[in-house]
Amino acid sequence: MDALTEAFRALGDPTRLRILRLISEARLNVTEVVSLVGVAQSSVSHHLTKLKGLDLIREERHGGYTYYSLALDEKAALWPLIRLAKDAPDEYGDKARLTELLRRREDVQTLNEKLLEPGQSWRLWSAALSSLLPPLEVVDFGCGTGMLTVELARWAKHVTAIDRSESALTKAKAEATRQSLTNITFLAADLEHLPLPSGSVDLVVVSQSLHHVTHIEAVLAEGARLLRQSGRMIVLELMPHDEAWVRSRLGHQHLGFEPTAVEAAMRAVGLEAEQQVLPTPRDAGSPFKAFLLTGTRTRKSPAKLRSV
């Protein structure tokens, strides 16, 4: 009875309960748990020690890391506690992040296996394919910390990276400096009202930025305005989903989009949508599925596209 009482007391902490639920689904190391629950490593280590002391989880060393896994099975007296943890409402979106983490872990393992074969690096293929492209003037809408920006800058003539977050831009600038990229201009601005001249760029990239804005039509209109005649826009966005936690924790304004709705919005601002790529079966395990649309600036653009 004392052990059961202590276990109930320990799981009264919501963060500890979240950690136990995650470990009951997959073997995880401390760094992975920190990334999933979003609290300090010292706090996570304390919770893990507490759970281990109650014999709810076990630890083992593998590849230089300490991994934690569930120490109980369905025959254990404390199993009803595990079941309660598993069935508790997932108000923080932990399960979705765990699914994505496990997918990335699998991708890394697959990539490492491919890298055993000379010339199988995706970066090598990316560099080879980009060498076939002409030097383009590119704008990256909602660049965030610049992961995509720096890849664009490897082959573009110039990239204008735009985000409203100064802290994100600071990180993006640091990454560009680290990689000795000098063909990037960073701009803090509202995507609906950009201080850039009309018809000045060849390519606008809108990668998972629309779900952060209120009026997607206004953002698409600005992108179309910036494009030269026959310039292209690439839109990568999320399909509709039910993960409402992204609103409060990640600032999403929309829970994904129907591709046809985004395609219609692109056409409304003078873009001829040309291609639609829907999720592949490999993404079936994640609640977040993406689609890709491309469009070309047509000669007959609506009058509402303003000039600067």
Where a domain ends, among 70, 92, 114?
92
**Whether residue 56 has pLDDT greater than 80:** yes
**CATH classification of the domain holding 198:** 3.40.50.150
Q: For residue 152, what are its two tokens?
A: 């664009």
Biggest CA pair distance of the chain: 78
Contact 236, 206 (CB under 8 A): yes
**CATH classification of the domain holding 49:** 1.10.10.10
Q: Is residue 106 part of a domain?
A: no
Contact 33, 19 (CB under 8 A): yes
Domain that holds residue 14: 2-92
Phi, psi (rounded to 5 degrees) for 4: -65, -40
Q: Is residue 116 part of a domain?
A: no
What is the C-alpha to C-alpha distance for residues 258 and 266, in angstroms, rounded to an integer?
A: 13
Residues 206 and 258 in one domain: yes
- For 116-144, write each residue's pLDDT tens digit: 455 555 566 666 666 777 889 999 999 99
What pLDDT score was predicted for residue 180? 92
Please tell me what DSSP assigns to residue 299: S
DSSP 152-197: HHTT-SEEEEEES-HHHHHHHHHHHHHTT--SEEEEE-BTTB--S-
What is the C-alpha to C-alpha distance for residues 268 and 166, in angstroms, rounded to an integer?
A: 31
Residue 57, burial from CB neighbour count under 10 angstroms (0-12, 13-18, 19+):
buried
Residues 145 and 248 in one domain: yes
Q: Per-residue pLDDT averaged across 20-26, rounded?
A: 90
Which range has the worst mean pLDDT, 90-94, 137-141, 196-200, 205-209?
90-94
What is the C-alpha to C-alpha distance for residues 20 and 89, in angstroms, rounded to an integer?
A: 14
Residues 71 and 153 in one domain: no
What is the C-alpha to C-alpha distance for residues 52 and 55, in angstroms, rounded to an integer?
A: 5
Tokens 């060849």 correspond to: 202
Q: Nearest 5°: CA angle at 266, between 154 and 163?
A: 45
What pLDDT score was predicted for residue 306? 43
What pLDDT score was predicted for residue 304? 47
Domain count, the chain: 2
Tokens 């873009």 correspond to: 271
CB-based contacts of 212, cutoff 8 Å, min separation 6: 142, 251, 252, 253
Average pLDDT, the chain: 84
Q: Is residue 238 part of a domain?
A: yes
Residues 177 and 275 in one domain: yes
What pLDDT score was predicted for residue 82? 80
Q: Per-residue pLDDT averaged across 62-79, rounded?
A: 82
Which range has the worst mean pLDDT, 87-91, 239-243, 262-266?
87-91
What Rg do the C-alpha atoms of the chain give, in angstroms? 23
Q: Is residue 117 part of a domain?
A: no
Q: Is residue 211 part of a domain?
A: yes
Residue 39, burial from CB neighbour count under 10 angstroms (0-12, 13-18, 19+):
middle
What pLDDT score was predicted for residue 235? 95
- For 154-182, write each residue's pLDDT tens digit: 889 999 999 999 999 999 999 999 989 99
What is the C-alpha to C-alpha distance for residues 168 and 251, in angstroms, rounded to an integer?
A: 14
Q: Nearest 5°: CA angle at 227, between 225 and 230?
A: 125
Residues 74 and 221 in one domain: no
Contact 222, 197 (CB under 8 A): no
Helix (DSSP H) and strand (DSSP E) numbers for the chain: 12, 10
Q: Is residue 183 part of a domain?
A: yes
Residues 147 and 260 in one domain: yes
